[in-house]
Chains A and B, each alone.
Chain A
Amino acid sequence: MILSRKFVSDYVSLDENLSIKQIAEDMTRVGNEYDKCQKLIEADNLVIGKIIACENHPDSDHLHVCRVDVGSDILQIVCGAPNARVGIKVIVAKVGANLPEITIKKSTIRGVESNGMMCSIKELGLEHKFLKKEDIEGIAELPDDAKVGEDPIKYLELDDEIIDFELTANRGDLLSVLGLAYELGAIYDKKVKDIDLSYKEINKDINDEFSIDVQTDNCKLLLTKKVSDLVIKESPAFIKNRLMACGIRPINNVVDISNYVMLETGQPLHFYDANLLGNKLVVRMAKPGEHLTTLDNIERVLDENDIVISKEDEAVGLAGVMGGLSTEVEENTKSIIIESAIFDSIKVRKTSKKILRSEASNRFEKGLDPKRTYMAINRACHLLEKYADAKIYQGMLSYDKTVKDDKVIDITVQNINNVLGTELDVATIMNVFSKLGFKSINNGDNIKVEVPTRRIDISIKEDLIEEVGRIYGINNIKGKLPKLSIKQGSYDKTTRQIRQKLVDLGLNEVLTQIFLNDEVAYKYCDKDYEIVKLLDPLSVEKNALRYSLIPSLLKVYEYNKDRNLKDITIFEMAKGFYKKDSKFGEDNKLCILMTGDYYLELGNKKSVDFYIIKGIVEELLHFLGYDNRYSFVINDIPSYLHPGQSANINVNGKNIGIIGKLHPNVAKNIYVAEINLDNLLENRVSRLKYKDISKYPSVVKDLAFIVNKDVSNEDIIKVIKKSGGKLLTNIEVFDLYTGENVGKDEKSIAYSLTFSDMTKTLSDEEVMTIFNKIILDVENKIGAKLRDK
């Protein structure tokens, strides 16, 4: 809603010294934010002039050299407008004038000196939609009564100031000049002036000619009046200017009055050409598939949730949203039916969302005051009589199921102070209600407040408390610390610890969006899950929610690669979304992506490979307490992974994620791990407890086995462990060899075995007995050969 200072001043007198900026700030303080506040016409140094001479430019076929009388001076101005001629009164921007788009300087145009500019209306900065052809193509021609030397903006009554408010959804009452006047009245403690609703009626009665029929509960109030003998013409300047100030394009006096009254009262009106409408107006729900051509000449297809206005059987208007073309007020309209009504806000909202958001629908959606419905129809009659020579019929047809009593709310001083944390006394509080124009009476600390119907947003005590806070001045309330009972606070430490661990291991945490294309999402989705799709996505690229984070991290990789950043070791913890058996779910996931160099030493670097990412995952699993409970299993490798360098990660035999190299079809040399944290962390871990360490020295023995290439280290270790028993306390793999010293299909793996006993120093014989048993078992069970030293 745009506030026009001139318009609102009709109803509340504002101190002339009060700047528009100050008004905007004061409104903000009570909860009404603004987007901009400015003069309607941001131009200075303008003056009314008269062209007293106009000759062709000696060196141009379209420029004129004019002499312009501006009262104090006669200026020579070079002008290119085709309508420049002797005798017309014009708007002159003097040297130094600031117009919205240019600053006027003294200049020489093709050898002729020019001291200023004659302006078109467009150059004053009015919005393009308000401009007529002549406002753009030529300089403005002012009527003869314009006085040379005076301010043309004032003469045109465009010397207004505006504030564009961004109002909250509950304050539908502020979508009216009157509402704004009450709000300003509360701030500056001024009374709101009465609105003139007077008019004469002729000796004809609408009841004799016309009837209404409301067939739906979605219309609670319908009023109609008839006027005749209209003279359609241009509106007076003040109406046009105020409409423009509020962002509405002037059309003709009758149409303008309906908009003007809507701005004043907040109640949208509709005028039907009475001859085209016939003798009956019906409000009903649309029939499914019913057609209606709206004022903007677009044929709309309606359904049973749209409220329509119809004559007999034909829809003539989309209630609360837009009128129909067939009964439009036109140049030759003589008499009209005025409709002032309240339609169901939710229905209007749905229809307008589907079809068109309009000034009217915005107001219906937020709710209306039935008293204003009456006020508006009478105000329209008053203005039509005054500015369109209308004759007003007697009688008003009405269908009214509304309650118009003021709401009475009981509240105590205590209620207010408890919520606000203040110590206001009853007088201060009563003063706030009085400023707001609410009647209130008190009995000690108990106050009875009558809230006028215009404040549809107020219905409970808390609403009144808000009003007191806002008008008393919320910033007069001092902050204090709550006195609350002592209580232990808690948070999920595990997430934080995982983050810290991975950061310590050299990974950068990233934050990505959950949206992506559904086909991409499906590539990385578990096979028994469906991907979640959006009903109304912003684009095809973002039409679904990811299940796996891998594609998101791949995007991060690509972004960085494009910037020549190649060592990428990143992770993210976020939700993965899925649908299963028509139910939605979300899993907490951890995803790691690594590529490039991980370790860098002068002349020696280590690129990320499977074993590095495996190391990261194992470090994490160890840190979380899953030692000896996890395994890497090579079956059912998802298709986006390299089949020979990937594995499923199991904990307690159940899958919790994957690890490996991305398939070369997906990306080159990128390693990923993705863990379902919910599945992982449901495996309970026992508390950390001290375990005895041996007081006796341990014995370390090395050995190497030659085995077939397909034999896994894990299989060998299993045998060693079993065979070594309790005294074998540690196994390290310290070398892997393939090459000419072993067979073509063979490899050699070297192990370092540590033996120790809690109760004594182990003798050589004891160790050798176990050691030899290990060799024998590995040879027999695995088919390994002991490699000679």
Chain B
Amino acid sequence: MKEEIKKVKEELVEKLKNVNSVKELNDLKVEYLGKKGPITEISSRMRDLSSDEKKEVGILLNDLRNEANTLFDDLKNKLESEALNKKLESEKIDISLPATKIKRGSKHPMSLTIEAIEDLFVSMGYDVVSGPELESDEYCFERLNLPKGHPARDMQDSFYITDEYLLRTQTSSVQARYMMSQDEKKTIRIIVPGKTYRREDDATHAPQFSQIEGLVIDKKENNVSLADLKGTLEIFARKMLGENLELRFRPSYFPFTEPSYEVDVTCFKCGGKGCSLCKQTGWIEVFAAGMVHPNVLRMNGYDPDVWGGFAFGPGWDRITMFRYGIPDIRLMYQNDIRFLSEFDRKDED
């Protein structure tokens, strides 16, 4: 019987060598380990043996069964993994073929810019507010210390709709609206991004453009000063246009501020050395700014003896052009899909 057991094992090992599929394997498993298989058959003959022999053969048979199971399992694993690999191999694709194109949208660069500016000012406690684009002469000019017939109105040739209504020439109109809307006069800290319109159309002027007005009004005792204005604009310019920029204030004239300034920043293209962008001056004009004129405060219900503050207004288009290096304002209004699609990803913040 011992011989038989040995022979069964040798025979099984030999047969397993020729097994190529899980099915053949299962058949062989049934053949050897099934009820009609040699192991069962041998064990059925065991009752004729002496108890010592029984014990010995029992151990041998048990070993054989275990060994057979191991052999079957190993081979099964091997066969299965071979089959899987074969399947995977057959499923191979060319990953270099193009991806399914999911339409990619983009924000207009003007929007990217204003979102960044809004975030900056909101973080400093400013409110972002808006106002009508079709504005009355009163709010666009008169309440900003620009009475009818004032020569400074020449700076802003306007599109009138009637004698009294026009397309606003400046977002400053919202200064007056916002001040007037405060039933209880309190601290104001706002920026007003918006479209503005002037009756001009040449190489450097479009009839439609955009501005961002900023206004801070606080109690006089808090001394909101020109130095504060300068500090605020430094943050603005450095955040939007470049870390190491310097600002240069040039006295100027706007009827709604006194003193008034035009503010240049170091040319971010050449770093101030002089180039075509800055017309060799090393400076780029970015802001108009100043301390709110007492007449403007008074006309809009804020007592200039109690309140004071500053206002500023960069060109939104210009900031956008500078930020992204867009050479011509017309590109921003042409809406060439190729242009728009360049702005389809996250920008540094």
Q: Which of A's residues lie within 8 Å of B, judged by CB? A: 28-31, 33, 168-171, 345-346, 349-350, 365-366, 418-422, 457, 460, 462-463, 465-466, 469-470, 474-475, 477-492, 496, 499-500, 502-515, 532-538, 542, 545, 556, 559-560, 563, 565, 567-570, 574-575, 577, 584-586, 598-602
Contact = CB atoms under 8 A, between A and B. Distances in A.
The list of the 9 closest CB pairs from A to B, nearest first, reads A421-B227, A506-B103, A421-B225, A31-B251, A479-B230, A346-B149, A466-B259, A168-B253, A489-B122
30 contacts: A31-B250, A33-B250, A33-B262, A169-B155, A418-B220, A419-B226, A420-B226, A421-B226, A460-B294, A462-B293, A465-B291, A466-B258, A469-B251, A475-B248, A479-B229, A481-B235, A482-B232, A485-B187, A490-B128, A502-B105, A506-B103, A508-B341, A513-B206, A514-B208, A532-B134, A538-B201, A538-B207, A563-B336, A585-B134, A602-B100
Interface of B: 97-98, 100-108, 110-111, 115, 118, 121-128, 130, 132-134, 148-152, 154-155, 159-162, 165, 167, 187, 189, 195, 197, 199, 201, 206-208, 216, 218, 220, 222-235, 247-253, 255, 258-262, 291, 293-294, 308, 332-338, 340-341
A489 B121 contact: yes
A31 B340 contact: no
Given A515-B207, A586-B134, A601-B100, A509 B251 contact: no
Given A465-B259, A507-B105, A489 B125 contact: yes
Given A514-B208, A534-B160, A482 B224 contact: yes
Contacts of A600: 100-101
A362 B247 CA distance: 33
Contact of B259 (A169, A470, A545, A601): A470
Contact of A536 (B199, B227, B248): B199
A509 B103 contact: no
B226 A584 contact: no
B227 A420 contact: yes
A166 B97 CA distance: 61
A498 B37 CA distance: 75
A72 to B, nearest CB: 36
A462 B258 contact: yes
B195 A514 contact: yes
B226 A469 contact: yes
Contacts of A420: 225-227
Given A462-B259, A602-B100, 7 more contacts: A33-B262, A479-B231, A486-B125, A489-B127, A505-B105, A512-B335, A599-B101
B337 A565 contact: yes
Contact of B103 (A349, A489, A569): A569
A462 B199 CA distance: 31
B227 A422 contact: yes
Specify which of A366, A499, A504 lies most central, judged by the most chain B CB atoms within 10 Å of its CB.
A499
Specify which of A365, A466, A486, A507 lies most central, judged by the most chain B CB atoms within 10 Å of its CB.
A466
Specify which of B220, B261, B291, B335 lies most central, judged by the most chain A CB atoms within 10 Å of its CB.
B335
Contact of A510 (B108, B132, B154, B187): B108
Contacts of A533: 161
A775 to B, nearest CB: 38
A502 B340 CA distance: 14
A513 B208 CA distance: 6
A585 B189 CA distance: 27
Nearest to B251: A31
Contact of A575 (B128, B133, B291, B334): B133
A492 B128 contact: yes
Given A542-B207, A584-B161, A509 B333 contact: no
A505 B167 CA distance: 34
Contacts of A534: 159-161
Nearest to B130: A492
Contacts of A480: 227-228, 230-231
A490 B100 contact: no
Contact of B291 (A346, A419, A513, A537): A419
Specify which of B103, B197, B227, B340 lies most central, judged by the most chain A CB atoms within 10 Å of its CB.
B103
Contacts of B98: 602
Contacts of B152: 169-170
Nearest to A578: B134
Given A29-B250, A511-B108, A349 B102 contact: no
B251 A487 contact: no
A259 B148 CA distance: 30
A31 B252 contact: yes
A498 B148 CA distance: 41
A377 B103 CA distance: 76
B134 A584 contact: yes
Contacts of A478: 227, 230
Nearest to B105: A503
Contacts of A601: 100-101
Nearest to B128: A491
B334 A559 contact: yes
Specify which of A469, A484, A515 lies most central, judged by the most chain B CB atoms within 10 Å of its CB.
A484
A422 B234 CA distance: 17
B103 A598 contact: yes
Contacts of A584: 134, 161, 165
Contacts of A28: 250
B106 A509 contact: yes
B128 A535 contact: no
B102 A599 contact: yes
Contacts of A504: 105
A582 to B, nearest CB: 10
Contacts of A346: 148-149
Given A421-B225, A513-B208, A506 B160 contact: no
B232 A169 contact: no
Contacts of A465: 258-259, 291
Nearest to B304: A462
Contact of A169 (B115, B122, B151, B228): B151
Given A33-B250, A345-B149, A513-B333, A489 B124 contact: yes
A258 to B, nearest CB: 23
A6 to B, nearest CB: 26
A365 B308 contact: no
A475 B250 CA distance: 8
Nearest to B220: A418
Specify which of A169, A171, A502, A586 lies most central, judged by the most chain B CB atoms within 10 Å of its CB.
A169
A717 B234 CA distance: 60
B71 to A, nearest CB: 43
Given A169-B155, A506-B103, A600-B100, A487 B340 contact: no
A506 B102 contact: yes
Given A487-B189, A511-B335, A349 B151 contact: yes
Contact of A499 (B107, B132, B195, B334): B107
A418 to B, nearest CB: 5
A421 B223 contact: yes
Contacts of B334: 559
B204 to A, nearest CB: 13
Contact of A559 (B189, B195, B335): B335
B122 A421 contact: no
B208 to A, nearest CB: 5
B189 A463 contact: no
